[in-house]
Structure 1
Amino acid sequence: MIEISLGKLLLLALIALIVLGPEKLPHAARTAGALVRRLRSGWESVRAEVERELEIEELKRTAREAAARAEAMQAEMNKTARETREQVAATATEVRDGIAHVQQELAEADATKDTPHGN
């Protein structure tokens, strides 16, 4: 804010006394005090509003970053789930093929056992 030294304040008071005179000076001082209070109050209000807006923007930025991290984690989980499903499907295919192979070997063994050996 504005810095006013004691010397400058006394000079302003002397000029005000000369210009306004002793009758009008107390009223002018009260008016000036009220004006300064309103200016300070307005300034504090504006400062508080700016701080709130900055906090809101910070919260929005943090929320956007959290959402981006959540989306990245979701994509990673989807990728892992897809890879797992593919591995399970491949394993299931191998197991089915293995079962079919074993069944075929058993059928061949049964067929060999049923045929006479001496013919």
Structure 2
Amino acid sequence: MIDIGLSKMALIGVVALVVIGPEKLPKVARTVGTLLGKAQRYVNDVKAEVNRSMELDELRKMKENVESAARDVEQSVHTSAKDFEKDWNEVTSSINASGSDGTENAAPEYDWSTQSAVVPAYSHPRKNWRLKRGAVPQWYKSRTGVRTKAQSGAARVARFRPRKPL
């Protein structure tokens, strides 16, 4: 980093005063200041963009990890469901085989693997959005003289009625 002390800045100012002249120096100083400000803003924007892209990459990695974990859980659920159905069929067949009259009154097998999960559609909660969009700031109300507290007609008359001198 460049080490600029007070003495170096004074030397730069004297050289600028001699080279540029006292008439144009304030305008040049203003221009240099605005250019430095724009450069700082540009550098900050680039840093923010780099940080956003790094966070986005991290989020993508986390998403992939969560999706792979979900797939593993789904596979384990499917295998356990198949085992359960096999056990269920064995139990129901043994119960049906030991029935007293010998007729089969068991329900037909149901294939759970063909069912898909039903997910309800998203609906916006619509919490007083009209009130929020139409809200007027308090500072504007006080500046323009809008009444913010409701008062009955009788109370308003009593408030502005001239008082009797004592």
Q: Write the deviation string for residues 25-65 of structure 1: whole angstroms up to 9, x where unpaired.
A: 22211111011011011122222222222332232222222
Higher relative contact order (CA 8 A, sep 6+): 1
Bigger share in helix: 1
How far off is 1:13 after superposition?
A: 1.8
Structure-2 change in CA distance of 1:26 and 1:82 (3 Å): same
- CA separation in 2, counterparts of 1:3 and 1:72? 58
Q: 3-state SS of the aligned residue for 1:55?
A: helix
Aligned-residue Cα RMSD (Å) equals 2.7
Structure-2 change in CA distance of 1:83 and 1:6 (3 Å): farther
Partner of 1:87: 87
Q: 3-state SS of the aligned residue for 2:14?
A: helix
Percent identical among aligned pairs is 30
- CA separation in 2, counterparts of 1:78 and 1:17? 82
Structure-2 change in CA distance of 1:32 and 1:25 (3 Å): same
TM-score between the two structures when normalised by the length of structure 1: 0.66
TM-score between the two structures when normalised by the length of structure 2: 0.50
Structure-2 change in CA distance of 1:57 and 1:9 (3 Å): same
Q: 3-state SS of the aligned residue for 2:22?
A: helix
How far off is 1:73 after superposition?
A: 1.0
- CA separation in 1, counterparts of 2:75 and 2:11? 71
Structure-2 change in CA distance of 1:2 and 1:45 (3 Å): farther
- CA separation in 1, counterparts of 2:2 and 2:60? 34
Shifted more, 26-35 versus 16-25: the winner is 16-25
Residues 61-80 of structure 1 aligned to structure 2 (within 5 Å): 61-80=61-80
- CA separation in 2, counterparts of 1:83 and 1:5? 79
Residues 3-82 of structure 1 aligned to structure 2 (within 5 Å): 4-82=4-82
Q: 3-state SS of the aligned residue for 1:22?
A: coil
Question: What runs of 5+ residues in structure 2 fail to find an aligned partner?
Answer: 102-166
